[in-house]
Amino acid sequence: MERLRKSIYVFVFFVMIFGCSNKATSKEANENKVAKEGTVVIKIGESGITDKEIQEEYNMLPEQLKALVNTKEGKKQFIDSLVTREIIYADAKAKGYDKNEKVLQDLEKLKKRLMIEAYLRESIKLDDKVDDKVLSDYYKKHEKEFTSPEKVHAKHILVKDKKLADEILEKLRKDPSQFEKLAAEYSIDSSGKNGGDLGFLEKGTLVPEFEEALDKMKKEGEISPVVKTNYGYHIIKFVKREKGTVPKFEEVKDEVKEMYLRENQKAIFDKIVAELKSKYEVNVNEELVNKALNVNGKK
């Protein structure tokens, strides 16, 4: 029960703060709303909330919050939160917050953002029905970007002292089977308790010295000389290597399509920006920009 109360509290807070239906603020506006946006189902003074507003608010909720509305208490709290927000809005307007300088500045910023979003939506329209042949050809050109990298399974012993690392290596040369035991005994890395096992490591994600040493190791069970990195001194045991795999087109078709559309959208966007930059003269006053950013402009 306590968890439900907490969930409903969060739910009400979410609706009140993040809901964004347009509100009627006068009798005339409300009458317009009835004609254009549905029927007023909750009357609040000269204003009200329409059935369409309620539907829009509900549709914007995440699925887990929609589930709460389907409970008796959740529905009550949902409606109450809409009413609460409406009466706060009405009183804020009555107190002149609609003329508040900060509010007007923020509204102008919001207007700018919404206009840009609308402009780009209309300007960058792509048909998401792309022929499979087009996608297949695109995939062939970008196959490397979908190929999983080579992986190497390795173990290591990490210590801070070079002399200790040399001593451990000497023991391993006499008896390589002691690697896991010595890792558990000496390694300062958390993998030590698991015999130094690092699991599979993706090529290109390791510190250069460590990766270079691994690249030279080919035989399973091979043990490296002492390798110094900024973490300390390593002794590496090579377990096995897995080559990168190239997925079939059908396996990644949806990802290919998403990448294709995104690339084309960027091309259209870049073209629009280039045309606009040639249309509108842009002059940057570096000195004033640096002052605004509180930087000296030096690299």
Burial of 256 per CB tally in 10 Å (0-12, 13-18, 19+) = buried
Decide: pTM greater than 0.85.
no
Pairing of strands 223-229, 232-242: antiparallel
Number of other residues whose CB lies within 10 A of the CB of residue 264: 14
Which pLDDT does position 27 carry in this prediction? 40
Say what the pLDDT of residue 63 is.
87
What confidence score (pLDDT) does residue 2 get?
Answer: 47
For 163-176, letters b (16+ CB in 10 Å) and e give eebeebbeebeeee
Residue 142 pLDDT? 94
Neighbours of 9 (CB within 10 A): 11
Closest CA to 100 of 108, 115, 111: 108
pLDDT, tens digit (0-9, with 9 covering 90-100), for 191-203 = 999 999 999 998 8
The second-level CATH assignment, the architecture, of 148-242 is Roll (3.10)
pLDDT of residue 28: 39
Contact 198, 238 (CB under 8 A): no
Residues of the chain short of pLDDT 70, as ranges, are 1-36, 297-299
Give the burial class of 203: count Cβ atoms within 10 A of its Cβ; 0-12 exposed, 13-18 middle, 19 or more buried: middle
Task: Give the residue extent of every domain in the chain.
Answer: 2-99, 100-146+248-299, 148-242
**E-only strand ranges, 46-108:** 47-50
Tell me, what's the pLDDT at 297? 56
